[in-house]
């Protein structure tokens, strides 16, 4: 398209007086798409959560308003157990991801030969699809011929091989391991980005004043990373909260619901038991948890994000 055609096409929108029309025009496609595919569905599922429906069909007459789903949810043990599983998963996996992510970022932020390769390697699991990670770790944690059991027995940590997928506690550990492996690279990438934004002068000044390496880490690097950390923390927590495929494919929420998170419970109620009203109610409550949690986490420290 030549610039001539373009200027004819913009209907005088480049004139300063009409520029805010242009601004809205540019935003329109995004807004329309989001309204149709996020806002409208959200309203639908909010509405569904107050109806006693099985398989929802668009255009069906609306069922009468009821609080049944929410009442059922608050009195069911499966819901509270899913909350507890999700909470433990969020705390453990977030802590591990943050520590491992920061450690790897600090490591590859040093200057050495082959640094690009190390960086690529450290962040690689981020690009591996979750389902592939599930395949890898179900092989590694295979009860009879898995590498992990073999190594544990060999090292004398355990005497008997562990039944990773039929023991509730062990299955939870496997889920945690897979999620940490998939989750830490994101922290690493973001932390690395934050590290590179720290001005070199600060370190030089620190060196001049005689700060040792660990002092530079504690008094310069970590405080300077804090704003980025707030953002990373929220994104990681939300990811764990909402992630579905890892748990669903790895354990299906079992054994005896030991790894059934809120996301898995929602999906199973909707598409295994076809209780879409009830599932929507669980999903809405999950969403409320996410909102409260991230408000709490962001606090005032990371307002810069907005």
Q: Please, which of residues 151-170 interact with another protein by CB under 8 A?
A: 154
Binding status of residue 79 toward another protein by CB under 8 A: no
Beta-carbon contacts of 137 under 8 Å, excluding residues fewer than 6 positions away, are: 174, 177, 178, 181, 250
Go through the chain and tell me how many residues it has: 306
Q: How many CA atoms lie within 13 A of 29 on its CB side?
A: 2
Binding status of residue 214 toward another protein by CB under 8 A: no
Cβ nearer to another protein, comparing 94 with 263: 263
Binding status of residue 96 toward another protein by CB under 8 A: no
Contact map string, positions 116 to 155, toward another protein, x by CB under 8 A: x-xxxxxxxxxxxxxxxx-xxxxxx---xx-x--x---x-
Q: How many CA atoms lie within 13 A of 302 on its CB side?
A: 18
Q: How far is CA 118 from the centre of its chain?
A: 24
Cβ nearer to another protein, comparing 206 with 275: 275
Minimum Å gap between C-beta 132 and another protein is 5
Binding status of residue 217 toward another protein by CB under 8 A: no
Question: Based on the number of CB atoms within 10 Å of its own CB, is 124 exposed (0-12), middle (13-18) or buried (19 or more)?
Answer: exposed
CA Rg, the chain, in Å? 25
Contact map string, positions 5 to 44, toward another protein, x by CB under 8 A: -xx-xx--xx----xx-xxx-xx-xxx-xx--xx-xxx-x
Question: Could you say which residues in the range 220-279 bind another protein, by CB under 8 A?
Answer: 227-228, 231, 234-235, 238, 241-242, 244-245, 248-249, 262-264, 266-267, 270-271, 276, 279
Minimum Å gap between C-beta 153 and another protein is 9
Distances (CA, A) of 263 to 9, 130, 214, 280: 47, 15, 41, 11
Contact region with another protein (CB under 8 A), list: 77-85, 87-95, 189-197, 215-223 = 189-197
Instruction: Tell which one of 3, 17, 75, 77 touches another protein (CB under 8 A).
Output: 3
Cβ nearer to another protein, comparing 77 with 145: 145
Binding status of residue 204 toward another protein by CB under 8 A: no
Minimum Å gap between C-beta 291 and another protein is 6
Using CA atoms, how far apart are residues 278 and 260, in angstroms rounded to an integer? 16
Minimum Å gap between C-beta 298 and another protein is 8
Question: Based on the number of CB atoms within 10 Å of its own CB, is 240 exposed (0-12), middle (13-18) or buried (19 or more)?
Answer: buried
């Amino acid at each position: 398209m030549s610039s001539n055609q373009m200027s004819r096409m913009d209907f005088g929108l480049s004139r300063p007086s009409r520029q805010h029309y242009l601004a809205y025009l540019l935003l329109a496609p995004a807004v329309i798409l989001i309204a149709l595919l996020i806002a409208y569905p959200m309203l639908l599922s909010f509405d569904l959560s107050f109806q006693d429906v099985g398989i929802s069909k668009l255009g069906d007459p609306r069922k009468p308003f009821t609080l049944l789903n929410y009442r059922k949810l608050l009195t069911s043990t499966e819901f509270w157990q899913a909350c507890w599983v999700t909470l433990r998963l969020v705390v453990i996996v977030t802590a591990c991801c943050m520590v491992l992510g920061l450690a790897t970022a600090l490591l590859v932020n040093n200057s050495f030969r082959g640094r690009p390769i190390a960086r690529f390697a450290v962040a690689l699991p981020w690009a591996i699809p979750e389902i592939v990670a599930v395949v890898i770790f179900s092989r590694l944690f295979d009860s009879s011929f898995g590498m992990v059991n073999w190594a544990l027995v060999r090292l004398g940590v355990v005497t008997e091989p562990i039944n990773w997928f039929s023991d509730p506690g062990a299955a939870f550990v496997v889920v945690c391991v897979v999620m940490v492996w998939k989750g830490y690279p994101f922290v690493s990438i973001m932390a690395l980005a934050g590290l590179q934004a720290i001005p070199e002068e600060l370190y030089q000044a620190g060196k001049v004043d005689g700060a040792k390496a660990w002092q530079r880490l504690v008094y310069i690097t970590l405080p300077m990373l804090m704003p980025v950390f707030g953002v990373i923390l929220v994104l990681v927590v939300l990811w764990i909260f909402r992630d579905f495929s890892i748990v669903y494919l790895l354990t299906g929420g079992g054994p005896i619901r030991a790894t059934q998170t809120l996301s898995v419970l929602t999906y199973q109620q909707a598409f295994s038991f076809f209780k879409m009203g009830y599932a929507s109610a669980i999903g809405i409550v999950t969403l409320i948890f996410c909102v409260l949690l991230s408000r709490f986490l962001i606090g005032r420290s990371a307002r810069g994000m907005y």
